[in-house]
Amino acid sequence: MKISVIIPTFSRAEMLPRAIRSVLDQAGVDVEAVVVNDNPPGSPERERTRQAVQEIGDARILYRENEKNLGGSLTRNRGILASSGEYISFLDDDDYYRPGKLKEQLAFTQGGGFDLTFMDCEIQDEKGRTLDVRTHPLPEAPGQQTLLRAHLISPLTPTMTYMFRREALLRLGLFDNRPVSQEYMLMLRAIEGGLKIGYLARPLSVQIVHSGERISFGANKIEGEKRLLQEKMRYRHLLTRAQAREMQCRFRCVACYVALKRREYPRAIGYGLQAVFLTPASALRLFREKHRMLRAKL
């Protein structure tokens, strides 16, 4: 069974080879690395990215270039449609897989008859120091309501931990074209769509927090998170009062962190105070997590 790993890339030619090699070095599986160059035509970054792929020189790389800058969602979708694997996974150009990630996840996915599986994720700084491990208090085969509640409170992301059966992903309808929260909405649609979803509590993907600005700190991030909170509030009836307050607290902590990164200090203070008012214990825990990320980027 072939696994296609979709790698959208933009302005990270120097980091991209590590991501690609972490896919090609996966033992015991048939892999295809689908690299989609989203840098604008004629730009130096497009050429540097093309050269970085050519220097690897592996026939298992399927390389595509967008006719114009499309953004993360549409670039991933193009990679999915160009791929040939029976299973689809994802990787960002600045992150990487641990050895054995794909083999272990494929065995788990096939063994459980799952349409989609997700895993834990290790978060590192640029020097390779572990900052956090995103894990979830879930069984291997959680039910729909359990998954939905968990996703509302603490997102079952990032996409680098996902593995889809190709047919199930195509039936689901791929990524929405939105500036933020694409992966959140994809998982939400998968849960609501009744896909059989499994959880493997193994941190075999590594997400890097680095000094370069990510899309997640862009000008649209807070407004996007506001819209996402509005989506989540439609499911408030499924949560306890404490869970609903924690969900709202998380939004304000994220907004506070983004405002700090953008040096919008009065706005950051306002969001921080709102978070503490909602649930002091959760706010303190989330602020500590964000503080570790912030220190890693200074």
pLDDT in tens, 165-209: 999 999 999 999 887 789 999 999 999 999 999 999 999 999 998
pLDDT tens-digit map of 231-248:
888 888 889 999 899 889
Residue 212: pLDDT over 60: no
In the prediction, which pLDDT does 297 show? 47
Radius of gyration, CA atoms only, the chain: 19
pLDDT at 2 over 90: yes
Where does the pLDDT of residue 287 fall: very low under 50, low under 70, confident under 90, or very high at 90 and above? confident
Q: According to the model, what pLDDT value does residue 211 have? A: 59
Start-to-end CA span in the chain (Å): 43
Give pLDDT tens digits for 108-140. Answer: 999 999 999 999 999 998 888 998 899 999 999
The pLDDT value given to residue 230:
86
Predicted local distance difference test score (pLDDT) of residue 291: 60
Mean pLDDT of 39-59: 96
Nearest to 24 by CA among 94, 93, 79, 99: 99
User: Are 19 and 208 spatial neighbours (Cβ–Cβ below 8 Å)?
Assistant: no
Under 8 Å between Cβ of 185 and 178: yes
% of the chain surpassing 90 pLDDT: 70
Confidence tier at 215 by pLDDT (50, 70, 90): very low
At 218 the pLDDT is 52
pLDDT greater than 80 at residue 217: no
Strands 30-37 and 2-9: parallel
Could you give the CA distance from residue 97 to residue 205 in angstroms, rounded to a whole number? 5
pLDDT value for 188:
96
Cα–Cα distance for residue pair 130/229, rounded to 1 Å: 29
Q: Which of 81-90, 211-220, 250-259, 264-273 has the highest mean pLDDT?
A: 81-90
| Single-letter code of the amino acid located at 59 | A
